[in-house]
Structure 1
Amino acid sequence: MAEIIRQHQTSRMSRIVMHGQTVYLCGQVGTRGDSITGQTEEMLAKVDSLLEEAGTDRHHILQAIVWLSDMADFDAMNAVWDAWVPEGHAPARACGEAKLASAELKVEVIVTAALPS
């Protein structure tokens, strides 16, 4: 059985969990109070950083789950998302509306990626 590696662990969660050839990231958000565009850009920059630390990148994302505090922000979030996702490497993705941890948060993403062979 493959070892489970947990990085940046607290009593509540790990920011990165690796099992076999799969990388799981905890939910990522941007700066509270920023615009949806700013929060999405920062959130995706954090994803890039964590994926790099784990030994992979956005070309290897398998799945993304996006939560918006208001679906009215869907188009603005997608404008940033579409520019960020490498052409030909779009992951399986779901997007829904949810009450996030803080009223100032507009978007959160949960990412699962593969390690390169």
Structure 2
Amino acid sequence: MTDITRSHTGARMSQIVTHGDTIYLAGQVGTAGASVTRQTEECLEKIDTLLAEAGSDRSRILQCTIWLADMADFAEMNAVWDAWVPAGQAPARACGEARLATPDYKVEFIVVAARS
């Protein structure tokens, strides 16, 4: 049986859950009220940090789900995402529109990755 490890665990969620060589990250958001560009940059910085802590990196992302508060921000978010994803290492990805936890959040990223 493979152990499950949880890190940065609170009453509601864990920021990192690992099961075997698979890493699951909680949804990452940026500074409420900041631009889509800045929130995306902050989300991706958090993802880099959490993946490194879990023994992985952005080249090992298997799947990413992205929620935008407004699909009109799709191109702005993608400009940051496209520069961040390593060439030839794009994960399976979905992006949709959703009402996020507060109207000041514009984007949220949910990642599943393989351990390095």
TM-score interval for Structure 1 and Structure 2 normalised by the shorter chain: over 0.9
Distance 2:26 2:36 in 1: 20
Residue aligning to 2:28: 28
Residue aligning to 1:78: 78
Deviations 1:59-111 (A, max 9, x none): 00000000000000000000000000000100000000000001000000000
Identity score, percent:
65
Q: How does 1:1-117 map to 2 (within 5 A)?
A: 1-116=1-116
**What 5-or-longer segments of structure 1 have no aligned partner?**
none
Structure 1 stretches (4+) deviating beyond 4 angstroms?
none
Distance 2:14 2:55 in 1: 16
Q: State the TM-score, normalized to the length of structure 2.
A: 0.99
CA RMSD of aligned residues (A): 0.4
Q: State the TM-score, normalized to the length of structure 1.
A: 0.98
- Equivalent pairs counted in the alignment come to 116
